[in-house]
Structure 1
């Protein structure tokens, strides 16, 4: 199926559905017929508050796709101020935009094929095409193959049809089936915070936001207390011990045990027959390179996509990755190191043959993107460990291995693994959870500029230290204090949950002593930010320390 998918002489689907996103984000008219089941056709009888019908044209309405968008944009009085107007469109006149309408009639964005077969339950009928005309992957694949040689209904918009990349591909029915089988492998399970084939075990639950599923058992030991915000499903036994609260539904095909003061706010269903197995992604074997990459302590390296052997990032060093695919044998991030990911031009995929090893207080920082834009595919069966205090963002896919999240780890994304082990004081957030603001700003104490208070301190600190901010949680202002035993080049920054730098509080040389800075929870433009968790990081010479703060409202 994959061979046919990418073969220029066969399906050549990859021309528009290129990995890792499986879309090129362009617009196209495939010649799809109008869908007679579309309820919008009948909305000429449904009235708005002013008495006018929602659909003025009734059954004669045509969906012109991108052309309709451009028409509405060009005829709007304030189109340059609309949030979805791109910089390119803002640079054009209304007349220039209207000139693009005819060539874009009937064009719709090329959809991603990731999770193209995903559905909420087995009885759900999924629809395909911009208007839902096709009811199966098999049907739309057959349309791609035979649009121009079989008697399909007339297209909704015939003027701008793509007649060069589909319509008469000459595929056999067996080849169509192989392509469909391949597309079904693109179901990645990323809708779950945690997805395991054998087990999920929490030594102690602190905070988790998102859904969790195991094809066997789940165990939550005594909470700290612990709060799990989401639904939990399992095919095997489920144990929820004391001081844990599940803010959602709990469902198992086997027995469920709730200990002492364990609480579930939603419906609890044990021995439930309709819990389905969730198949983990099946990673294809790949070849890695022969060149070892080593980033020495305190160094910086920008590494282009490609094939490498072992990649090691040592203390306080930074490795930068960019959009594309990396095939490597093993990835090792030493303590206080940084994996900097630039997703501006697309997703970053790191295929790892053996395992991922992230040592304590290492961090992943994603610029120009989100946690969805980074994926670690781990092919091997060796344990992958995220060690104490590390901050990790992205998707971790390890269908043959155990993934460990050790003490004080901060994780945002999705984990699909054979087994998942969560230690103490771990914070877990799914991609879709917005728990942090996008920007921040430091303020002075009594001034509009930042200012360090170097009061008369007779005893200089003996060692570097970054104190917990006070108060914490806070609203709206908090103070960050740190100690320098000697004059140092200092960087103190606040990061959001995506690993992006929110604002640089300090960058420059400071004298030895105790220093304090205040932050009033506003962004760099002076606007208030939303409540949630922030990460602040001090680097002074060779010293690096990271802490978390919580803004409440």
Structure 2
């Protein structure tokens, strides 16, 4: 028979769920005797690939090898692994490859300034500041060599080979990896996008505006015309906000949890909610088995219109898998839960 052990860092699920996870880049696993020191068996494995297992072939032999036929809890089955690019759209497509090793190379053209443009930005003056670039063209293109800055000096950030499909977005948060570092001034600033020939498009950011605890973003069309909007980083821009209407009543009259936007999403979505009184607020994401994935908010907040961004990471900072998730708000006696869908 077989014993199936989960390395899922979920020991509360049962005695066969280990409080550890295996590294996709490779590591070792050892089986100890009950004395805790005698090693009964061990294996050192290298980089892992999706839907590929490593096992003894045949069972109980000393030969370990990769197979594209995982058989957890059953006798091992060997199916040869052929690493390579298995995407027919790639220029180095290998029809014999049954495991993609991320070596695919795609023919691309440079993006055309104007087809790509700054479509949204947030300048509240904190690490949540972001810049969004949209590809309004009808072809896939590369931003390689494009530059981004908050001045025409263009000394801040130069893009690598970032590929944007038609209708896709690039989203960069201040000081994040492979992103800009120039702080966007909360009292107003500019964002300059330049192509490899030195042509530039500039958008002007007005002073940052907060309404009832909700920090508005500013969205732009291809001509650089902008307006204040609800933040939708990495997704279709929201409608322009009429400031005098929004400010007419800055304190909501009841608790409300809105549907996340965008939904489905990948990898960032915004959760909006309203709290009519000061109090302790908890917002937590769960998987469909009810296991906690991420605590997003757990603090006292003032009454107002609020939003928070979830980046599809768990409490350990790791990206979660695609699927359906629940997000729940608890504020006083108010509890509300909604579903959201993460795509990959």
TM-score with structure 2 length normalisation? 0.32
User: Which structure has the greater CA radius of gyration?
Assistant: 1
Structure number with higher helix proportion: 1
Q: Which TM-score applies when normalising by structure 1?
A: 0.20
